[in-house]
């Protein structure tokens, strides 16, 4: 699986993110109650997973101290096999939703800092 972690200050960000993702104009293939799947080119998919009601191992162990100090305590998994698609979708998340991305190198990035040539999914 390739992907990254979306970090948020809010534990109820999933529904606003779903509404935003559905407004992007990509093919939407659904998902279950705990996910949304975009399939814009029938080649790569972008899947956002909701967090559980209880803190996950991600939230307990994986969020960097730097992010915790800034108030980012909640983790939402994103699965995507295309760095280009990942960056295109996540960079369009509105600033008022106040998120950070934690990539697989442990780098913390704001949506406007994403670059498909440097992000590690």
Q: pLDDT tens digits for 19-62?
A: 888 888 777 667 667 898 988 877 789 999 999 888 888 888 88
pLDDT of residue 22: 87
Residue 3 has pLDDT above 80, yes or no: yes
pLDDT band at residue 11 under the 50/70/90 scheme: very high
Q: What is the mean pLDDT of the chain?
A: 91
CA 41 vs CA 27, 37, 59, 80, 110: distances in Å = 8, 12, 32, 13, 25
Nearest to 117 by CA among 86, 79, 90, 75: 86
pTM for the complete prediction? Answer: 0.91
Domain boundaries, the chain: 3-113
Radius of gyration for the alpha carbons in the chain, expressed in angstroms and rounded: 13
């Amino acid at each position: 699986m390739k992907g990254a972690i979306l970090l948020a200050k809010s534990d109820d960000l999933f529904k606003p993110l779903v509404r935003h993702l559905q407004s992007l104009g990509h093919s939407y293939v659904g998902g279950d109650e705990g996910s949304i799947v975009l399939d814009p080119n029938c080649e790569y998919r972008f899947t956002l997973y909701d967090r559980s009601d209880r803190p996950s191992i991600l939230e307990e162990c994986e969020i960097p101290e730097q992010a915790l100090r800034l108030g980012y305590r909640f983790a939402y998994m994103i699965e995507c096999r295309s760095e280009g698609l990942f960056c295109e979708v996540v960079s369009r998340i509105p600033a008022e939703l106040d998120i950070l991305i934690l990539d697989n190198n442990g780098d913390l990035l704001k949506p406007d800092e994403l670059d498909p040539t440097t992000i590690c999914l």
